[in-house]
Amino acid sequence: MEGLIKGLADVAFGGRRHEDENTKEDENTVEQQSRSSWAEVVSGGDQDGEQNYGGNTNNRRNEEGDYGRNEEWGSGSSQSTRRPQKVVNERYQDNRQNDYNQSRPAQQTEEESNDGWETVGKKTPKRHQQVKKDDWDNFKRPASEQQYSAEVEDNSQLEPSENELNDLGQACNKLWELDYNRLTPGKDYEIDCGEGKKTYQKQDMAEGSLFTWVSEDVLRKPTISRFCSLLDNYNPHEGYKEQVTSEEKQEQAAFIEEICRTAPIKYLHKYLCYKRIVSEDVQEFKRLLTSLWFDLYGRGGTSSCSSAFEHVFVGEIKERGEQSVSGFHNWLQFYMEEAKGRVDYQGYIFPRRRGETPDSETQLLTIQFEWNGVLKSVSSTMIGVSPEFELALYTLCFYMGGEDNHIELGPYYVNVKCYRLGNKLGSAFPIADE
């Protein structure tokens, strides 16, 4: 009898142990499948599609109204964020934005990342880095006390040709050719365009960030590092008077000094000299650039609350009526704000003609995003170009062009929109043209 009872007990308990082992094996299988799915999401891949980046500006106007005016000056409604970000309508103080914590080129999984970043409804970038700000304090010193890079050689390439002087488009394309600091996709940075959408669509079509990584060497480039140091000098809310400190003025002067040593700005100076916009005096030219880009003016009914630099490169949030984002066309500002969780990239906007979709090699993008919880339904930006190129391009169009400037920039057909506020530069940005 004892043997029979013991045998039955062994069968019962042995069967339970066998079930437990099977359960553990099933759980391990599910966990491995889950990790595999997450790895697939993180690694991602190019999305197939029918659209090609580019499009007819006239079609945009016919179907959606004036593309440029809707983007910058229109009263289009904004949508509140569906995933509240860490910073929502934060009022910047005098010591704004402590650190630009960025991604470091080291592989990390979401579980391993404990560097203080907060996931805001998005998968984390594949690689993480931090922006080196070692020299940023030095940029606040008087311009005469700072060290600058060597001036580019003054060769025949910097001399405008007769054709370029008679054709703004050729002059703008020459600036593209002279942008020696333009970055190379895949070598200097990587983007993930996600999926496309129409401007009126509200769903987020990008499961991750636009920027996967940017090389630390890029952020040490003289004009780029000086440009980045200027981005935290502004209150992004339209209508708030800007208080420009003496140190910030020195940052501005040092930035102008640095870019005036580059090929695009030297070419711009020569071009404006031929057109008798400015004299050959380099100091006068620097004063012209400083005034055009950094002098404060009124916007939204408040005086001394905005500037061309703030609007075009940094961006502003309109407070009248429903909040909306205006300006904000610079890729470096986008990268910085995205890394800090203030920008939520939501996908690219479908172009007007069929073909290939934009990919990691594309350097002219029309996108949709939220900034500080406020939607910008359509925005355009040139990825990887240098600050000196953009500043030279928009300055040239301001002085020599009109509101619409249909040009070619390398492989891209572009309409550079240029709006004036009296004798000031109100806004400037590129639109993909056909």
Across 36-45, 86-95, 281-290, least confident range? 36-45
Q: What is the pLDDT of residues 118-164, one digit of tens each?
A: 444 455 554 445 566 667 778 888 877 888 999 988 777 899 999 99
pLDDT of 154-203, one tens digit each? 777 899 999 999 999 999 999 999 999 999 999 999 999 999 999 888 88
Spatial separation of the C-alpha atoms in residues 82 and 91, rounded to whole Å: 21
pLDDT at 270 over 70: yes
16 belongs to a structural domain: no
pLDDT at 234: 93
123 found inside a domain? yes
- Does residue 8 fall inside a structural domain? no
- Is 192 a member of any domain? yes
Burial class (CB in 10 A: 0-12, 13-18, 19+), 14: exposed
Tokens 């090389």 map to which residue? 215
Residue 23 has pLDDT above 80, yes or no: no
SS (H, E, C) 276-330: CCCCCCHHHHHHHHHHHHHCCEEECCEEEEECHHHHHHHCEEECCCCCEEECCCE
Q: What integer pLDDT is reported at residue 169 of this predicted model?
A: 97
Range of the domain at 104: 53-109+119-432
Sole residue written with tokens 């990887």 = 384
276 in a structural domain: yes
- Active site amino acids: 311, 329, 376
Q: How many domains does the chain have?
A: 1
Q: How far apart are CA 135 and CA 145, in angstroms?
A: 13
- In contact, 132 and 216? CB cutoff 8 Å: yes
Query: What is the model's pTM?
Result: 0.73
pLDDT value for 433 = 86
In a domain, residue 44? The reply is no
In a domain, 80, yes or no: yes
CB 197 within 8 A of CB 350: yes
pLDDT at position 396 is: 98
The one-letter code for the residue type at 110 is E
Position 161 in a domain = yes
